[in-house]
């Protein structure tokens, strides 16, 4: 904060706005954009890995693998996202604390269920009440990553399972005719070529993931939606920088942010798609040879 900001009541015009936009709360608002970008950067590979494992399992000839893979994809796709985002963090949090309870204080007099409340000894809580605030944020962020990863991993698994089936069967038969094993066909033919069919669906999931990040607000994290609501709402005289209801402007800024992020993603998708389609038997891959989709 600038020295001139010591007494906000004496400020006006640009001085007032410069001091207003550099308060600790506004700095937390600006940092929350980094939280959103970090979530996207972490969840995307996690969801892709979970989805790939589910897609491979669903194709297995063994029911021990195919049934869990198909069941997971069907379950996560059939349950509303918001239910997962509210259920999974609570279930994981209580599960972790219950395991710690069994190890640290299993002889707790009243047990963990006291009426309708789930209570463990203070030593079994996660994170500990004595932990630094940063660890509370890290713990909440970790639960958010798991929740987002499970939800979008199921959608990614559905996309990847369909892209496996889209690879021309003739190429698989050709590999077999050359004496390649099933493992070699999977690694050298199926996986490299299925990405071009999976990319449109994965691109849509990426866009949906971006638009789903405001759900962090529901998980108790102080994200950009939380700060936009807090900073934009009408302040009273007890605040150093009272102002009218500016939520329209704050949420309008978020609108521009998300539109810009999705526009950049669309440009990146087109470039990746063009690169992966080279030499492939698709309209995108044959576009440079003079072929057209019409007659």
- Sorting pLDDT into bands at 50, 70 and 90, what band is 290? very low
Report the pLDDT value the prediction gives residue 251, as an integer from 0 to 100.
93
240 backbone dihedrals φ, ψ, rounded to 5°: -70, -25
Confidence of residue 280 (pLDDT cuts 50, 70, 90): low
Confidence of residue 41 (pLDDT cuts 50, 70, 90): very high
CB 279 within 8 A of CB 285: yes
Determine contact, residues 52/149, Cβ cutoff 8 Å: no
Residue 38: pLDDT over 90: yes
Q: How buried is 23 (Cβ within 10 angstroms: 0-12 exposed, 13-18 middle, 19+ buried)?
A: middle
- Residues 235 and 246: their CA atoms lie apart, in Å, by 10
Query: For position 286, what pLDDT does the model report?
Result: 53
Q: How far is CA 46 from CA 136, 162, 254, in A?
A: 22, 19, 26
Strands in 238-279 per DSSP E:
none
Q: Which of 15-29, 90-104, 276-290 has the lowest mean pLDDT?
A: 276-290
Q: What's the pLDDT score for residue 236?
A: 67
Instruction: Quote the pLDDT of residue 282.
Output: 55
How far, in whole angstroms, is CA 47 from its chain's centroid? Answer: 8
Per-residue pLDDT, 250: 92
174-185 residue pLDDT tens: 888 888 888 888
Give percent of the chain with pLDDT exceeding 70: 92
- Largest distance between two CA atoms of the chain: 84
- pLDDT, position 143: 87
Query: Mean pLDDT in the chain?
Result: 84
Q: Pick 263 or 196 by higher pLDDT.
A: 263
pLDDT at 108 over 90: no
Tell me the C-alpha distance between 225 and 248, whole Å: 12
HEC per residue, 100-112: HHHHHCCCCCCCC
Paired tokens of 148 = 């987002």
Question: How far, in Å, CA of 98 to CA of 108, rounded?
Answer: 12
Q: Is the pLDDT of residue 294 over 80?
A: no
pLDDT for 173 equals 87
The CA distance from 228 to 225, in Å, is 5
Place of tokens 């203070």: 122
Q: What is the pLDDT of residues 66-97, one digit of tens each?
A: 999 999 888 877 778 778 777 888 888 888 88
Task: Tell me what the mean pLDDT of segment 110-116 comes to.
Answer: 77
How many other β-carbons are positioned within 10 Å of the β-carbon of residue 116? Answer: 5
Going by C-alpha positions, the residue among 156, 157, 134, 186 that lies closest to residue 54 is 157
User: Length of the chain in residues, anyone?
Assistant: 295
What confidence tens digit (pLDDT) does each residue in 132-182 have?
Answer: 888 888 888 888 898 889 889 999 999 999 898 888 888 888 888 888 888
Q: Is it the case that residue 270 has pLDDT exceeding 50?
A: yes
End-to-end CA distance of the chain: 66
For residues 96 and 109, the model is more confident at 96
* Confidence grade of residue 40 (pLDDT, cut at 50, 70, 90): very high
Give the global pTM: 0.81
Residue 112: predicted pLDDT: 80
**Residue 9 above 80 pLDDT?**
no
> What domains, with CATH codes, occur in the chain?
28-213+222-280 (1.10.3720.10)
Share of the chain above pLDDT 90, in %: 23
pLDDT top residue among 287 and 16: 16
């Amino acid at each position: 904060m600038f020295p001139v900001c010591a007494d906000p009541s004496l400020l006006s015009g640009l001085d007032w706005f410069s001091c207003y936009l550099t308060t600790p709360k506004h700095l937390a608002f600006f940092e929350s954009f980094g939280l959103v970008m970090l979530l996207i950067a972490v969840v995307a590979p996690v969801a892709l890995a979970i989805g790939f494992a589910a897609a491979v399992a669903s194709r297995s000839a063994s029911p021990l693998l195919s049934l869990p893979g198909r069941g997971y994809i069907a379950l996560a796709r059939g349950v509303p996202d918001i239910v997962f985002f509210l259920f999974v963090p609570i279930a994981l949090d209580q599960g972790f604390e219950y395991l710690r309870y069994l190890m640290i204080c299993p002889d707790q007099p009243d047990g963990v269920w006291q009426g309708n409340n789930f209570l463990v000894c203070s030593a079994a809580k996660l994170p500990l009440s004595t932990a630094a605030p940063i660890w509370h944020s890290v713990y909440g962020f970790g639960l958010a990553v798991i929740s987002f990863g499970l939800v979008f991993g199921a959608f990614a698994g559905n996309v990847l399972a369909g892209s496996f089936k889209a690879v021309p069967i003739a190429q698989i038969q050709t590999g077999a005719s050359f004496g390649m094993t099933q493992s070699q066909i999977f690694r050298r033919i199926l996986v490299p070529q299925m990405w071009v069919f999976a990319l449109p669906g994965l691109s849509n999931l990426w866009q949906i993931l971006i638009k789903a990040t405001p759900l962090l607000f529901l998980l108790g994290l102080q994200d950009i939606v939380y700060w936009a609501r807090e900073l934009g709402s009408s302040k009273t005289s007890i605040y150093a920088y009272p102002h009218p209801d500016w939520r329209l402007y704050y949420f309008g800024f978020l609108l521009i942010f998300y539109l810009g992020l999705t526009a950049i993603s669309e440009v990146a998708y087109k470039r990746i798609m063009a690169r992966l389609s080279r030499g492939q038997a698709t309209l995108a891959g044959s576009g440079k040879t003079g072929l057209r989709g019409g007659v």
